[in-house]
Amino acid sequence: MFVKGKEAIRMYFYCEDCKKEYPLNTHSYKCDCGGMFRLHKDPHEAVVKHEISLGEFVTPLVPFQVGKLDFLLKMEHLLPTGSFKDRGACGMINALHDLGIKKIALDSSGNAGASMAAYAAAADMECTVYTPDDISQEKVKQIEAYGAKIVKVANGRMKACAAVKQNLGDAYYASHVYNPLFFEGIKSMAHELYDQLGHHVPDYIFMPVGNGTMLIGLFLGFMEIGRLPHFVAVQSSKCAPLYEAYHEVPASPKRTTIAEAIRITKPKRLKEMVKAIRDSGGDVITVPDKDILKAQKYLSHRGIYVEMTSAAALAGAVQFFENGKPDNYKVVIPLTGNGLKR
């Protein structure tokens, strides 16, 4: 939690474009000029604790072989609600609890909704989650089990985002995309990896990317460490707005993909995502749904059951290194969500 006192006072949101400042408890989700928020805090004085906890732990880093290719799987799907989003939810809910926030609302395709609902329940906060009406029933049941209210919205993820903004009332918009407090929690994965690798940074990290919360959080975390791995963002060939922006190719019609959590047609932090990839010397690649399904089955038949979105990263890594990879390369693949969610 962000501790009360002078440390908390030193923290605020600011616009990445015009630099205007906003308090952490603002009900604005972006600047009046349209710019996205960043978080200002004194890295030497701001203290993060975990008074609201569901038993988070350092997720294992497991060696994994695909043919002659060796990878390291970061087992994020083992976190309390079955998703890496628990990192961001834990950080944000602790901060909001410290600020006295009692009622939150957010939009989600499922995993962030479940994470935020769980940590909100632990903090005795009222929570409403707006979701597309076609998300998996497993995710719906999980969110409702934590006592959160679900509002289903037709016509996709972007409509759910618009709906929550129009119906906030007196609730705090606890967005995992707009709110920088969420990224503060995700950063912890970078520091964990650095420790697990003996104070070394991995050569590559392959990750599925939709709204980019993992990508941006890892970028910020490794910037604190002082060295970036090569980030490779993996998207479905059916829905690849980051690929199109990064490679400067014409946009194509977006279609439904089996990788539900990265079915994001218009990511709000696209500019930051492109910068993170470029600064790291990484890349953005796409994989067909048939390869995602194949990767999910490959993992499952070796005892690791993850959702399709997680499998996209493995499919991407295998495709990227189809002609082999140097033996000394440390290649990390975070498994983002549990297969029981689908």
d(CA 16, CA 263): 26
Residue 131 lies in a domain: no
Number of domains in the chain: 2
Structure tokens given for 233: 């963002």
Q: What is the mean pLDDT of residues 293-302?
A: 98
Structure confidence at residue 254 (pLDDT): 77
My answer on whether 318 and 295 are in the same domain is: yes
Q: What percent of the chain has pLDDT over 90?
A: 86
pLDDT tens by residue, 6-53: 344 468 999 999 999 999 999 899 999 999 999 988 665 444 556 899
Q: Do the beta carbons of residue 234 and residue 209 sit within 8 Å?
A: yes
My answer on whether 243 and 293 are in the same domain is: yes
Q: What angle do CA 11, 17, 20 make, to 5 degrees?
A: 45
d(CA 284, CA 239): 13
Distances (CA, A) of 339 to 80, 117, 139, 277, 329: 14, 19, 11, 28, 28
Q: What angle do CA 247, 238, 337 make, to 5 degrees?
A: 100
Residue 160 lies in a domain: no
Residue type, 167: N
The SS3 call for residue 71 is strand
- Here the CATH number for the domain that contains residue 233 is 3.40.50.1100
Q: What is the mean pLDDT of residues 294-298?
A: 99
Provide the CA 321 distance to its chain's centre, in angstroms.
24
My answer on whether 312 and 261 are in the same domain is: yes
Residue 229 lies in a domain: yes
Q: How confident is the model at residue 342 (pLDDT cuts 50, 70, 90)?
A: confident
d(CA 208, CA 40): 27
Residue 157 lies in a domain: no
Question: Where would I find the beta strands (DSSP E) of the chain?
Answer: 12-15, 21-22, 37-40, 61-66, 69-74, 103-107, 126-132, 149-153, 172-173, 204-208, 230-236, 283-287, 331-334
Q: Do the beta carbons of residue 40 and residue 27 sit within 8 Å?
A: no
pTM: 0.92
For residues 2 and 68, the model is more confident at: 68
Structure confidence at residue 253 (pLDDT): 83
Which residues partner with 21 through β-bridges?
14
Structure tokens given for 131: 């979701």
Provide the CA 182 distance to its chain's centre, in angstroms.
9
DSSP string, 260-285: GGG--SS-TTHHHHHHHHHHHT-EEE
My answer on whether 255 and 209 are in the same domain is: yes
For residues 1 and 56, the model is more confident at: 56
pLDDT tens by residue, 174-222: 999 999 999 999 999 999 999 999 999 999 999 999 999 999 999 999 9
My answer on whether 75 and 29 are in the same domain is: no
My answer on whether 241 and 198 are in the same domain is: yes
Residue 135 DSSP symbol: S
Neighbours of 7 (CB within 10 A): 16
**Can you give the residue range of the structural domain that contains 203?**
61-83+182-341
My answer on whether 73 and 222 are in the same domain is: yes
Residue 275 lies in a domain: yes
Residue 124 lies in a domain: no
Residue 53 lies in a domain: no
Neighbours of 18 (CB within 10 A): 11
Contacts of 50 (CB under 8 A, 6+ apart): 1, 56, 90, 94
d(CA 98, CA 325): 47
My answer on whether 43 and 187 are in the same domain is: no
Residue 274 lies in a domain: yes
Burial of residue 241, with CB atoms counted within 10 A of its CB: 0-12 exposed, 13-18 middle, 19 or more buried: buried
Residue 76 DSSP symbol: G
Q: How confident is the model at residue 155 (pLDDT cuts 50, 70, 90)?
A: confident
My answer on whether 76 and 31 are in the same domain is: no
Nearest one of 48, 47, 11, 13 to 32, comparing CA atoms: 13
Instruction: Kindly tell me the sign of the dihedral angle through the C-alpha atoms of 236, 238, 242, 245.
Output: positive
Q: Do the beta carbons of residue 249 and residue 95 sit within 8 Å?
A: no
Structure confidence at residue 46 (pLDDT): 46
